[in-house]
Amino acid sequence: MNPNRKTYLIMKKIFSLITFSLVFLSCVSQNKTTAPNTAITNIETSSKPKLVVGIVVDQMRYDYLTRFESKFGEGGFKRMMREGFNCKNNHFNFVPTYTGPGHASVFTGTTPKYNGIIGNNWYDKEVKEMVYCAGDDNVEPVGTKDKAGKMSPHRMQTTTFGDENRLFTQMRGKTIGISLKDRGAILPAGHTANAAYWFHGSDEGVWITSSFYMDTLPKWVANFNTSKTVESYLKVWNTVYDISTYTESGADDNMFEGGFRGQEKATFPYDLKALSKANRGFDILKATPYGNSLTTDFAMAAIKGEDLGSDSTTDLLTVSFSSTDYVGHNFGVNSKEIEDTYIRLDKDLERFFLYLDTTVGKGEYTVFLTADHGAVNVPSYLKSVKIPAGYTNNAARKLKFQEFLSKKFGTKDIIENISNNQIFLDRKKVEVLGLNLTDVQNAIVNEQINYDNVSKVYSATTMNTTNFTTGIEALLQNGFNQKRSGDVILVDDIAFIGYSKTGSTHGSGLNYDTHVPLLFFGKGIKHGETYNKTVIPDIAPTISALLGISFPNGSTGKPLGFIID
């Protein structure tokens, strides 16, 4: 053999050996890096919170956080702000700002335009009657025989992030909804919830549900209902601190509050047990801070009874504190009663968070807190300090409108319903009379805009054909559902309401109704704050992003990436 040829073959074998060795080492190296990558994936999976708690405080204006801050302890609202993220310019981006639409939007990540919850009650154009957002005649009460149990989420048309978590975890992740109000428990929990529980007061004072979720109450709920916890709150309601220190609210004795039947003045103290008989029995608790305390008690019982947050699969607990709304409606946003209610809620939040620390584990859960709407200062109070405000005369407006209809169309019967600042036409009647629907809508718009305390009027045709991006028009459009909303939408003057001369209410697209808190804290949440505008539909996709799950199927909000650690 040629020496050169022999040398060539030897060198070729050596080169092949080197190549094989390099390939082998490369494979080994790849295998060695696979294990750490797998470990990292596992760490990421386990880094999800064991429990997400979504808290809605009914009728909480943003300024309650700052107005009552000096009265708060360190473990409730302040802990959330100190350890978590505060979105200080958070708003509802739709009208109407009511309880049903508010709760639905928080958890579906979209507005009534898509989720279908256009009010607490609304006129159903198909069945020709008013319907309730959570009412369902096809289910049976569980825990009571009262019709208060005939409820379900069937009118909500989109999923919640709780639904998406249930789908993502193959139904292993639990969802439980809790509130004094049925709609405050049912809508946040979604369609696939393991349970939603709400409080039935009257002469029973029990937590109930419906056959949509189960046939009988779990043992832990039955035990709670017989534990005398509810009865223990029928006691004297007085201020936590000396009432003279409540300088963040108005005088205790004033003309702007409703109060309780059986007590001449709406002033502290209130003997709830003595007053309960004249105020629908256990229902009186709803309009006191003790309703929130009761909700906290039951939420803690649910965590234990349902083993929430006990494993690596994320569970969801939704808690809506309703008493703040009842107190606000009764006494107004500037009352001593509302101040005391928030001081006591702060204490309830502190004991709730401490309970989560010891059961689920500190740093193992994530909480967000927001509201379903704000509230207007009592207009009669605003007038007394020379701020433009007042009350709509709906009876006079209706009479004038009927006269217009008779003169313009020869009949009043083309109107089917007027509710929620919307006018519903009898479209068949309009057709029989040979009238053009758009022309009729526009004629009503041009008439109504001339009425006292009517600020703006829009037709359904305008809502369907014009894309509004700013102002009240955009909020109206986000709340307009083509299938369910009316033919004409009315907007009242600022701080003018159709309500009693005492107490506060809500529903508008103005800042006092749209500006609400948004606090996040716990696992996966950065510490910080922002004045950049955020909107309520951003909450659900943010939690979905935190959990790595699909966004709710109708979500229109954006994930707030800057709050996620």
- Contacts of 189 by beta carbon, 8 Å cutoff, 6+ apart: 107, 153, 160, 162, 175, 176, 177, 195, 196, 318
CA–CA distance, 389 with 383 (Å, rounded to integer): 6
Give the count of alpha carbons within 13 A of 240, CB side only.
Answer: 19
**Sign of the alpha-carbon dihedral angle for 190, 195, 198, 200:** positive
Output the CA torsion 433→437→443→446 (10° steps): 160
Q: From the candidates 19, 38, 99, 466, which is the catalytic residue?
A: 99
CA 123 to chain centre: 22
What string of DSSP letters covers 485-502?
S-SEEEEEPTTEESS-SS
Smallest Cα–Cα separation from 476: which of 487, 496, 491? 491
CA distances from 63 to 79, 333, 334, 503, 533 (A): 17, 11, 11, 18, 16
- Contacts of 336 by beta carbon, 8 Å cutoff, 6+ apart: 239, 243, 246, 249, 250, 251, 252, 268
99 is catalytic: yes
Instruction: Work out the number of other CB atoms within 10 angstroms of the CB of residue 100.
Output: 27
By DSSP bridging, strand 315-321 and strand 51-57 are parallel
CA–CA distance, 115 with 123 (Å, rounded to integer): 16
Smallest Cα–Cα separation from 282: which of 223, 225, 206? 206
Active site residues: 99
